Amino acid sequence: MANERLADLTEADVLEIRSSDPRVQLMERLYNDPEAKRAIQQHSKRLFPKASIPEIDVPALTKAAIAEDVKAIQDLRKELETDKQGRRHTAFRGELVDAGADEEDLDAIETFMVDNELGPKAVKVAVEKFYESKEIAEPRGSAPDFVWDVAGEDGLHMKALLDAPPGADLDRINEPYAEKLFHEMFSQPARGRRAVGR
C-alpha cells in the first residue's frame, strides 16, 4: 500500500517532500560529504552484512584477492633491503681494508668507530686511530719478571716494599730508608748547621 502511494507521487510531490522534510535534508547533506557518506555506508554494511554496497564490497573483495601478492611484494622488498644493507656493509669493510685494516680487525674497528662516533667518511682516520690505541694499550714484547738490579741496601728496601702484603703499612716499611736518605742529604757538621739556623 505504501509503495502504491509512493508510485502515485508526482515529481513535484517528491520535490516538495524533499524540501520540507528535515530528515531528507539531513541525509542529502550527509551523502554530499565524502567522509560522512563513507561512514554511513560502513555502518549500513555492519548492520546489514548481506546488503550490496559496491563502495564497501569492491575494495574488500579486491583486497582479499590481492592479499597473497601484497605479502609476496612485502617479503621481496624486505629481502632486497637486507641484500642492499649487506652489500653496503661489504663495501664498507672493503674501504676499511683499503685504508690499511687487517681482515681480523674489521669487527673491532667497526665497534671502535661506533664507540667513538666516527662515521663512514672517517674510515682512514678510524683505522689510524684504532691501531694507535692498540699500540698504546698492548705492550710490544713480553717482558720478563721484573727484577731489581739495584744492589745493596736500596735493592733490599725496594724488595721489602714490593713483597709487602695488601694492607701493609708501607710508611712504616719506608720510614728507616727515608730517614737514612734525609740524613745523607742534609747532614752537615755542627758548625754548618748552626750557620744555616742563624
User: What are the backbone angles phi and psi of residue 99, rounded to the nearest 5°?
Assistant: -80, 0
DSSP state of 166: T
Grid cell for residue 87: 652489500
Q: Residue 165 carries which DSSP code?
A: P
Comparing CA positions, the residue from 131, 140, 136 lying closest to residue 106 is 131
118 and 133 Cβ atoms separated by less than 8 Å: no
- Number of other CB atoms surrounding residue 91 within 10 Å: 10
pLDDT in tens for each of the 198 residues of the chain? 445 566 777 888 777 777 777 887 788 888 889 899 889 888 888 888 888 888 888 888 898 899 999 999 999 999 999 999 999 999 999 999 998 989 999 899 899 899 988 888 888 988 988 888 887 655 555 555 555 555 567 777 778 878 888 888 888 888 888 888 888 888 765 544 444 444
Q: Where are the alpha helices (DSSP H) in the chain?
A: 2-8, 11-20, 22-32, 34-47, 54-98, 106-115, 123-137, 152-163, 170-186, 190-197
Question: What gap in Å lies between CA 175 and CA 158, rounded to an integer?
Answer: 12
